[in-house]
């Protein structure tokens, strides 16, 4: 597949599967044997774990919204720089709901084979998110 075709598929994850709460799309876009290197420690790096994590995230942040700021594709990889925002109205990963709104940035890399995502990596500004949510104090 071309870099443009890969970008179109990668774009569907944040804009359709997450923003529209259509996690079933992950079955169509990602290979069932793919590896997600970005799931939290203790979770297997599988598509099922990714779906579980996203479901928990959407439950905790019902207004979660992803916006793609930059997108670069070369060869079999697509990189996205995204801005994420949401209000923590439910518990998440052992943290009680704070009711606060946060905006943070993420970088995602996906690798394709056979027209499907087979690997995913991410870097997430979790510190900034947790500080805005009031879970971690802001520096003085």
Residue 138 located in a structural domain? no
pLDDT < 50 positions in the chain: none
Residue pLDDT, tens place only, 86-99: 999 999 999 999 99
pTM equals 0.93
CATH of the domain at 102: 3.10.450.50
Residue 140 located in a structural domain? no
Q: Tell me the residue range of the domain where 24 lies.
A: 3-133
Return the structure tokens found at 117. Answer: 């995502």
134 phi, psi to nearest 5 deg = 85, 10
Residue 121 located in a structural domain? yes
DSSP letter (8 states) at residue 97: P
Contact present, 124 and 104 (Cβ < 8 Å): yes
Residue 82 located in a structural domain? yes
Residue 51 located in a structural domain? yes
Query: Domain tally for the chain?
Result: 1
CA distance 99 to 132: 11
Return the structure tokens found at 79. Answer: 């990189």
Cα-based angle 120, 124, 129 (whole degrees, multiple of 5) = 150
Residue 95 located in a structural domain? yes
Please give the pLDDT value at position 138.
84
């Amino acid at each position: 597949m071309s870099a443009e075709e890969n970008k179109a598929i990668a774009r569907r994850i944040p804009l359709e599967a997450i923003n529209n709460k259509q996690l079933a799309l992950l079955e169509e876009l990602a290979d069932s044997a793919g590896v997600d290197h970005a799931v939290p420690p203790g979770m297997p790096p599988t598509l099922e774990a990714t779906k579980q994590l996203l479901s928990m995230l959407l439950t905790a942040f019902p207004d979660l919204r992803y916006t793609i700021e930059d997108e670069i594709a070369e060869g079999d990889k697509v990189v996205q720089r995204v801005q994420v925002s949401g209000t923590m109205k439910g518990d998440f990963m052992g943290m009680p709901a704070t009711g606060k709104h946060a905006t943070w940035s993420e970088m995602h890399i996906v690798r394709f084979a056979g027209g499907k995502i087979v690997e995913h990596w991410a870097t997430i500004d979790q510190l900034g998110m947790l500080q805005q949510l009031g879970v971690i104090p802001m520096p003085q």
